[in-house]
Structure formats: structure tokens, C-alpha cells
Structure 1
Amino acid sequence: MNRTIKCSLLVTTLLAGNALAAPITQSFDTFGPLTGATFSGTGIPNDAVAITNIGSPAAGTDVTLGLTAHQRYFNPELTNDGAGTFFASPGIDTHAPSPANPYGTWNFAFYVGGTDADSYSYKLFYDFDLGLNTEESDHGEISFVGSFQDSWNLGMDFLGNAMPGLLPPNFGAFDPNNSGEYSFALAAYNGQGVEVDRSAIVVQVGQVAQVPEPGTLALLGLGLAGLAAFRRKRK
């Protein structure tokens, strides 16, 4: 399967500065089958896709955005909650070029299609940071125009290297052995560079530890201090 980004699809200036200082959360119109999407492969599941349709009531759907996650080759199948969150297993895929160049056991896949797909620009956001609630501005960004679909693995080398149309994530390298939470978004922009709509999903790999917010930690600290004082009074 060809994993090379087509240079003719990449744009370097249309979408500059669109990343937000906020986490990417699940977003879609419907979650289910995306008939006709192959994600440029054979046998890639298309039955659990976060789908967003762009269009007007008069003209109907002009553009369809789709995002999903799936097992790579014969690795364990992913499950999902039916609401944009997928659950995958950590570990290294055994199919070439992995494990020499470590790939994870799962891929993320995206789809842009429709009669009006050429009227918009698109940006694919992807995540190397295993922590929760990674800000969009820390995601990798791939900019392109027109219809495009594929299935990629976070272990692929090109995703970590800056090139025209691609800004890598602000977080080291992807480690397929780590448990964590990874978020993805596929956004469409009009001619003025304003976001029109998006699809977004989250992939939870292994057991993800919930880290308390700073306010929660402060309350916990006060609670422990109060408990200690109470115990001292009882002595």
C-alpha cells in the first residue's frame, strides 16, 4: 500500500495558524458505516467511522469527512464506544517494515470525498503525546486539497519529519509500547481559511491513567491536610 503523500495535494500557506490551544474532542454528525470508503487499502473496516457531512439542504451533501481507527493487519481488532472513542492494544506490529522501524498494532484512517471536495482545503491533525487532552496546537498537521483517503500508522517515519505541507507534533516520537490517549481531527476550511466543519476521534491504547486536574489536586491536598489535623486532635 502506498504511504507517500502526493506533493500535488499539499499546501503550505492556506491553513497557516489555524491550530487551537484547546484539546481535540470527539466530533461528527454520525458514527457508523461509510460505504465506499476503502482508505486506500483492502479489507480495512469502514463500519465504525466518525462522519461529518458538509453541504446545504438544497444541494445535499457536497463533502464527506471520515475518521476511524482499526487494527493493522492481523493484530487484535479495535473496539469502540459508538461515540468516537476507539480502544486499541499497545505493542509493536510484526509486519514489515516493523519491527525494525516500530509501528503500532493499530492504524488511523481518514477520508475526504464528495462532489464539492475541491472547493475546500483540509487539515489532518494527529497526536504523538500519550497524555490526556493534548492541545490541538501540539498535534502534527498535514495540509492538502481535494479528495484524499488513506490509512497510516503513527510509527511511519514521515509523520515525524517536517516537509512542505507537514508540521510534525510537538512531542518527541511515537512509542507503540506505551499506553496512552491519542486524538485525531480532519477539518475543512473555506477560501478565507476559516474552519467549516470537522470529524474528530480519540484512540485509547491500553490502560490510560486519569490524571487529576490542578484544582482537584489542590482539593485533595486540603483534604489530606484536614485528615492529618483530625488525627492529631484525636491523639
Structure 2
Amino acid sequence: MKTSVIRSLLATAFAGALTLSAAPITPTFTTFGPLPGATFGGSGIPNHAVAITTYDGVTLGLTAHQRYSNPPVGNNGAGDFYAVKDGDTYSGTNSNPAFARWNFAFYALNTNSSHMYLDLLYDFDPRAGTDESAHGRLSVLLPSVSKAQDAWQDSWNLGMAFLSAQASGTNFVLTPPSGSFNPNIPGEYTFALVLRDKDDVEVARTAIRVNVLPDSGATAILLALSVAGLAGLRRRH
């Protein structure tokens, strides 16, 4: 099949996903805990507190974690994460004040025999309860693979410039949210992975909420939440 035809088909499929819910995104998952197969595209990225949803051979995972040596990100064991506001100034040569001190990380593995469509939704608005329809959206074709190392996964920061720009390719369409991200503003940021079938019908999702706290004095709270979350995981497993 010619590339132009593939692009046309993908554009048609992704166009069908343009209508998103007018409701806010809330934490949603099948299980919350370790996702051992996930590296999130790096090394040393925590994979012990992940919102995981499984559906018909597909595994979806979302988490949030500190960027390099920034303050730790805590969680309540139920899909809410807690980070500290302000730009990243704790990473030496990797520091970037336009970046948050925290990243969000995603994982999607499709071992189903057919391809699926996946939307990654992300939030620039620090106000609570942002409508799903106001989120940025990266729509991708999720191919069927047989090995966990072929999962679609990475760790991104809301300050990354490409998340603010309209873009498209042979297997993706990116539509940014309105406005821009400011790492210095505390608030609530929500994320979701939404799985759709060939008819553009949502069949599964996983979602998290990142609560950004107002000052560095929150570090003790984050540490306490992390310890409590780990204790909860030990009890459940």
C-alpha cells in the first residue's frame, strides 16, 4: 500500500477521535503497583507505582516521577501523585528552568493480533477539573508486537517544546492544548492513555492525576506519601 494511502487512512482514523469527553479526567486503572517490564525509555526510572490497565492483550501504564535529582514524587497508592512546583534547576548540565521538576511516563504494549489506536492526553491547565476536551492529544497507531521491549514507552516533561506544537506523521497526530505550561504554578495536571478499536470506540483507559504543591516545604509530605504508598503495595502483594 502506498505511503500516501496509509497517511490518508490514518488521518481518517485519527479524525474520528477528535471528539473528547467534556468531563474531567480522574484516576482510572485496573491495578496500581509495579510494572516490571517498563523502563519508560530510560534507566533507573521508578516503575513500582504505576496505574495499570489491561485489555485483551494490551497493557497500559502511567506514572509520574522526579526529574533527575529533583524532589521525589509521592503518591497515595490510588492514582494521585504529588510533586513540587518550580522549574528544574537541580539537574546540573541537564537542568532546564522551563521544565517541571517532575516527569510523566507512559507504557503501552499491544500483544493482540491486530493493531489498535491510542490517545495520550496531557494537561497544561493548573486549574482543577480540566475538561478532557481541553487536553493535548497525541494519537498513535499501536501495532501488535510480541516482545515487551517493543512496547511504546517514554518519560516526558510538560515543558518539552514538541508538546506545544501541532504535528503529524505516518503513524501519529499531535494536537497541543491551548495556552502553555508554566512549571512555577502549583495546581492539578491530569493524564490518560485511551485505547480505541478499529471503529474508534474507546475500549479501555488508564489515567492519573499529578498534584503540584506550592513550595519546597512539601518535600517531607512527598516522602511520607512515598513511604505510605510502598507500605500499601507490600500489603497488597
| TM-score relative to the length of structure 2 | 0.77
Deviation at 1:13, TM superposition (A): 3.4
Q: 1:194: which partner in 2?
A: 201
The alignment partner of 2:14 has SS state of: coil
Structure with the larger RCO, 1 or 2 (CA within 8 Å, 6+ apart): 2
Deviation at 1:97, TM superposition (A): 5.8
5 Å matches for 1:148-187?
Answer: 148-164=152-168, 165-170=173-178, 172-187=179-194
CA distance in 2, matches of 1:117, 1:81: 36
Deviation at 1:83, TM superposition (A): 0.5
The alignment partner of 2:96 has SS state of: coil
CA deviation profile, 1:119-164 (whole Å, cap 9, x unmatched): 2110000000000000011000001122410000000000001111
Code of the residue aligned with 1:178 in structure 2: it is I
Identical residues among aligned pairs (%): 51
Deviation at 1:207, TM superposition (A): 4.3
Q: Is the 8 A contact 2:52 2:62 kept in 1?
A: yes
Change (3 A) 1:69 1:12: farther
1:72 aligned to 67, 80, 86, which one?
67
Change (3 A) 1:117 1:69: farther
Q: 2:3: which partner in 1?
A: none
RMSD: 1.8
Deviation at 1:85, TM superposition (A): 0.3
Q: 2:212: which partner in 1?
A: 205
Code of the residue aligned with 1:119 in structure 2: it is H
Deviation at 1:91, TM superposition (A): 1.4
CA distance in 2, matches of 1:154, 1:117: 33
CA distance in 2, matches of 1:117, 1:93: 42
5 Å matches for 1:1-235?
Answer: 11-16=10-15, 17-55=18-56, 62-94=57-89, 95=91, 96=93, 98-99=95-96, 102-116=98-112, 119-146=115-142, 147-164=151-168, 165-170=173-178, 172-207=179-214
CA distance in 2, matches of 1:72, 1:36: 20
Change (3 A) 1:79 1:118: farther
Which of the pair is proportionally richer in helix? 2
Higher gyration radius (CA): 1
Q: Is the 8 A contact 1:19 1:137 kept in 2?
A: yes
The alignment partner of 2:203 has SS state of: strand
CA distance in 2, matches of 1:188, 1:151: 19
Q: Is the 8 A contact 2:84 2:214 kept in 1?
A: no
Which ranges of 4 or more aligned residues in structure 1 deviate by more than 4 Å? none
Work out the number of aligned pairs and report it: 191
The alignment partner of 1:24 has SS state of: coil
Q: Is the 8 A contact 2:185 2:214 kept in 1?
A: no
Q: Is the 8 A contact 1:63 1:117 kept in 2?
A: no
Which of the pair is proportionally richer in strand? 2
CA distance in 2, matches of 1:143, 1:63: 16
